[in-house]
Chains A and B, each alone.
Chain A
Amino acid sequence: MCGIVGLFVKNPDQCASLGANLSRMLIGMTDRGPDSAGIAVYHDPSEAGWCKLTLFHPDESYGWRAMGGELAAALGEETDVSLKANHAVLSAEAEEGAVRAWLAEHHPEVRIMGYGTLMEVYKDKGKPASVVDKYGIAAMAGTHGIGHTRMATESAVTTEHSHPFTAAADMCLVHNGSLSNHNRLRLWLQRRGQTFESDNDTEVAARYFAHRLGEGASLREAMEAGLKDLDGFYTFAMGTRDGFAVLRDGIACKPAVLAETDNWVAMASEYRSLAGLPGVEAARVWEPEPAVIYNWSLN
C-alpha cells in the first residue's frame, strides 16, 4: 500500500500556497505510507541558459560547495548551490546533460534526484511530516507538484527506492500499485538506451514514459501507449514541465480521487488527504475512471 498525491494550480494567485497545501496532502496519506516520502515541486524557474539539479548524498556534511566550485571550474561557467539537509539544489549556467555527465564522471557517489529548469525532488526515509519539515516543503511556492508516501512491498526501504522517480528533464512519476512485467520491460528499455538506477518497478514505468516522450509522443500519447505496455496494478500521477496527469489501470484496484475547483485540481489516493484544501467542500469530487487519461496543462 502507498499513498500518492498531486496538486495543480489553475489560478496563479494560489501558487504561493502550493507547498503548504501539498505538505498537508502528503501528511494526510501517512497511514498509507509511513516508510518513506517524496515530493516533486515545480517552482522557481531557472534563468535562461541555466539548469538546476536536485542532488542527494546520505552524508549531511557532504562537500556540496566544493563540488559546485569544481563544476564551475570545469565548465568555465557560474554555478550556485543551495543546501537542504542531505539534498542540494545545484544550479549551473550550462546544459543539464553536460552537468549530469560531469557528475557521473567525477562524483558518482552523488545521486541525481531530478533535473531540468523547474522541478526539484526531495525524498527520504521516515514519515511524511518529518520529510516535509526537513526540506521546508510548506514554504515553497509553485505551479504544481506530486508526492508519494511509501509502504514498501516490492523493494527495500531506502531513499533510492522512494518515489517520485525521474527519467527526463522536469518529468517525474509517482505510483501506487505494482507492475508485473517490469523485468521484461526493463530489458526492453535497456536495449533502447535507457539506464536504470534501481530495481524498482516504478522506475521502469518512469523510464518507459520518458522513452515514449523522447520518441516525440505527447503526454497523452505516452500514457495511451502505457495502457497497452504496462501490465499490473497502478494509479499513476505524473508531472511534466507544464502538465499534470493521472492514470489508473483498467481493473482499477488501486484507489484514486480527484477534486477540482476554479483554483486547483488535486488528486490523492484517498479523500482524507484532500480534506484540508481550501474550498474543497465546494469542489467537484469524483473517482477517476479506469484506463482514462486525465491531464491538465499550464498552457
Chain B
Amino acid sequence: MIEFDLAETPIRELNGRLHKLPPDTNERAWRVVNPRGAHSVAVGLTQPIEVRIEGHVGYYCAGMNKEATVVIDGQCGWGLAENIMSGVVRVTGNASQGVAATGRGGLVVVEGDAGARCGVSMKGVDIVVAGSVGHMSAFMAQRGRLVVCGDAGDDLGDSIYEAAIYVGGKTGRLGADCVEKEMTAQHVADLRALLDRAGIEADPAKFRRFGSARKLYHFDVDHADSY
C-alpha cells in the first residue's frame, strides 16, 4: 500500500505518479489521505490499480477513469467520474451534480445521494445510486443504465435515447420523451445482477423502468407547428 498525504504533497504530484504507472506495475494499491476538498484527485487513471481516498474531495474526482478502481470514503463535489471509460468508482457519501457525465463504460456507485444531472449524456456507463438523485438526471442519456434506489427529481430522462433508468422510489415530472416502460422478468434479473455488482441491497422487483418514447428521434410532420 502506497500512502499519499495531500496535506503535504501537491495533487499534481499524485496524479503524475499515477499516470506514469506501466501496465505491469506492482504499485497497485494506493491510499490518499487529507484530500480536504481538492479538485481532480486521481483523474485520468489508465491501469487496473486501486486508489482509496479517505476524506471529502472536490470537483472531477476520478474523471476519465479507465481500468482503475477508485473508492472515495467521504463526499464528492461535482463531476465525479466524468467521462469514465471503464473500471469502478465508488463514493461512500453523497456526490454533487453531474455524476459520471458522458461516461462511456464502467460502474459508478454512490452510496448516498447524488445531485442534479446525474448521468447527463451518459454513453454506456452503469450508475447505481443508493439514495436519491436531483433534477434532470439522465438528460440526453444515450446508453448504459442509471439505477436510483431512492427518488428521482423532476425532468428525469429528458431527451433520452437508448439508456435505461430504474427507479425504486418516487419520480417527479418526467422529462420530454421519457416514459415508464414494462419491467419484465429479464429486466428484474438484469437489475439484480447490477445491484449485486454494485454491492447495493435493494429488491429489484420493486423498481420501475423508464426509457425513451422515441418520439424525438425524427422530424414528425404532425408536430410541424411546434418546431
Q: Which residues of A contact B (CB under 8 A)?
A: 252, 255, 257, 270-276, 281, 285-287, 289-290
Give the residues in chain A near B94, CB-CB below 8 Å.
285-287
Of residues 83 through 130 on chain B, the ones whose CB sits less than 8 Å from some CB of chain A are: 93-94, 96-97, 113, 115-116
Judge whether B143 is part of the interface by a CB distance below 8 angstroms. Answer: no
Rounded to whole angstroms, the CA-CA distance of A120 and B57 in the bound complex is 33
Known: A270-B77, A274-B37, A275-B56. 11 other contacts (CB 8 A): A252-B116, A255-B78, A270-B37, A270-B58, A271-B37, A285-B93, A287-B96, A287-B97, A287-B115, A290-B134, A290-B135
Residue in A closest to B59 when the chains form the complex, CB atoms: A270
Rounded to whole angstroms, the CA-CA distance of A245 and B109 in the bound complex is 32
Of residues 70 through 90 on chain B, the ones whose CB sits less than 8 Å from some CB of chain A are: 75, 77-78
B75 contacts A272, C-beta separation under 8 Å: no
Residue in A closest to B74 when the chains form the complex, CB atoms: A285
Give the residues in chain A near B39, CB-CB below 8 Å.
272
Rounded to whole angstroms, the CA-CA distance of A285 and B56 in the bound complex is 9
Judge whether B38 is part of the interface by a CB distance below 8 angstroms. Answer: yes
* Residue of A257, A271, A281 with most partner-chain B CB within 10 A: A271
A255 contacts B77, C-beta separation under 8 Å: yes
Give the residues in chain A near B48, CB-CB below 8 Å.
none
Give the residues in chain B near A285, CB-CB below 8 Å.
56, 75, 93-94
Could you list 12 examples of A-B contacts with CB < 8 Å?
A252-B115, A255-B77, A255-B97, A270-B37, A271-B75, A272-B58, A275-B56, A276-B36, A285-B94, A286-B75, A286-B113, A287-B115
B36 contacts A255, C-beta separation under 8 Å: no
B97 contacts A271, C-beta separation under 8 Å: no
Residue in A closest to B55 when the chains form the complex, CB atoms: A281
Give the residues in chain A near B113, CB-CB below 8 Å.
286
Give the residues in chain B near A274, CB-CB below 8 Å.
37
Rounded to whole angstroms, the CA-CA distance of A285 and B113 in the bound complex is 11
* Residue of B37, B57, B113, B116 with most partner-chain A CB within 10 A: B37
Rounded to whole angstroms, the CA-CA distance of A274 and B37 in the bound complex is 8
Give the residues in chain A near B77, CB-CB below 8 Å.
255, 257, 270-271
Give the residues in chain A near B55, CB-CB below 8 Å.
281
Smallest CB separation, B55 vs chain A (Å) = 7
Give the residues in chain B near A271, CB-CB below 8 Å.
37, 56-58, 75, 77
Give the residues in chain B near A281, CB-CB below 8 Å.
55
Give the residues in chain B near A289, CB-CB below 8 Å.
134
Rounded to whole angstroms, the CA-CA distance of A286 and B113 in the bound complex is 9
Rounded to whole angstroms, the CA-CA distance of A289 and B113 in the bound complex is 11
Give the residues in chain B near A273, CB-CB below 8 Å.
37
Give the residues in chain A near B134, CB-CB below 8 Å.
252, 289-290
B38 contacts A272, C-beta separation under 8 Å: yes
Query: Which A-B residue pairs are the 9 nearest by beta carbons?
Result: A272-B37, A271-B37, A275-B36, A285-B75, A275-B37, A287-B115, A287-B96, A271-B56, A252-B116
Give the residues in chain A near B96, CB-CB below 8 Å.
255, 257, 287
